[in-house]
Structure 1
């Protein structure tokens, strides 16, 4: 499905990623965990085309997408729910969600039943259904996060990149966001997850990679990493 090989990327003269490699198989939830500055968000941005990789490859179903513009990467089937949400504040909730299907509506991807998918998104995110005519800028932070996720789902992507979906949210909303991720997993949606709450990320994931200073330091089944003493001490507070 998604394969990242020897990926290097950064900003200006600063290289953040130094040869990162990992795979996400179809139907899996894979998480990247690590401290702030480890390179997690940079990895997501390099995959989705927000920044251009300096070296390495990103392939989706064998098709090389590294270095392509973001809109062309989306056409291949990679949807990105970015850190910071980035909704369109002066547009309605419904229109924001519909924008996720833009490449389907313009013929760049198979159209399918967009109306049915809109209904599915509203059922998956009932808070958004209640606020579908509201301007996105008037939503709470948690609701905007759900909106960014719903927009990504509307692409009908092969893989969704979820970057820090719980950032800045109250605990009750964090739980709701992870319930939605669990429901997507049950629907066999393939996801790559970056998350500050490592325990929650490992609980919902099938496989995990630990990033340290722009390199993969450790990897394995998520359940095994949850039990790993070094991971527990460094990222789980010695708990779980």
Structure 2
């Protein structure tokens, strides 16, 4: 569904990704774990068109989207919920969600039943239903994170990229975010998850990749990685699980 081959990316002269390859099969949750500075967010930005890869290919649902602009890749079916919860602060929660579906209104994505999906999003994120008329800028950080995720779902995408969905959240909200990811998985959504909580990410994922200094050091089924002594020592020790 989403395939990355030999991806290289840089910021100016600083090479961050050194030829990484990974696959996100349809209906699966794949997680990318690694320490800060390993290149996880750069990978997400290169996939979603926020930065242009230096070399390598990104294929989405059989279509080569390498080097395309973000809005073109979104129309091809990629929803990116970026780190830092970018929401439209001066618009209501409902309008933020409808904006997520914008390519469906313009028919550059299959339209489907937008009203039904809006209700579904409110069910999935009950906090958003309670605050649906509020301006997004008045929401707490946790609620803004829910909104960024819900907006990605509203595109009805082929693949959802979730970049650090638990970042900066209180533990109770981290648990809620992972419950929602689990429910999206049960709905058959295809997701690539970048996450600092490696234990929680591997618990929800089907497959995992470990990124070290811009290279994939190890990958395999998530349960195998959970039991890998090297992965446990580096990523599943103190402070990395909740």
Q: TM-score range by the shorter chain?
A: over 0.9
Spell out, residue by residue over 1:70-114, the C-alpha distance to the aligned partner (whole angstroms, 9 max, x if none): 000001100000000100111100011111101000111111111
Where structure 1 has 5 or more consecutive residues not aligned to the other structure, the ranges are: none
The equivalent of 2:129 in structure 1 is 129
**SS of equivalent to 1:118:** helix
Scaled by the length of structure 2, the TM-score of the pair is 0.98
Q: Distance in 1 between matches of 2:100 and 2:89?
A: 15
Q: Distance in 1 between matches of 2:192 and 2:227?
A: 21
Scaled by the length of structure 1, the TM-score of the pair is 0.98
Q: Does 1:171 align with 2:206?
A: no
Q: Does 1:91 align with 2:80?
A: no
Alignment of 1:198-213 (within 5 A): 198-213=198-213
Where structure 2 has 5 or more consecutive residues not aligned to the other structure, the ranges are: none
Q: Does 1:20 align with 2:50?
A: no
Runs of 4+ aligned residues of structure 1 deviating over 4 Å after TM superposition are none
The equivalent of 1:55 in structure 2 is 55
Q: Does 1:68 align with 2:68?
A: yes
Number of residue pairs matched by the alignment? 240
The equivalent of 2:214 in structure 1 is 214
The equivalent of 1:229 in structure 2 is 229
The alpha-carbon deviation at position 61 of structure 1 amounts to 2.0
Q: Distance in 2 between matches of 1:61 and 1:80?
A: 15
The RMSD of aligned alpha carbons is 1.0
Spell out, residue by residue over 1:136-170, the C-alpha distance to the aligned partner (whole angstroms, 9 max, x if none): 01101100000000000000000100000000000
Q: Distance in 2 between matches of 1:10 and 1:184?
A: 32
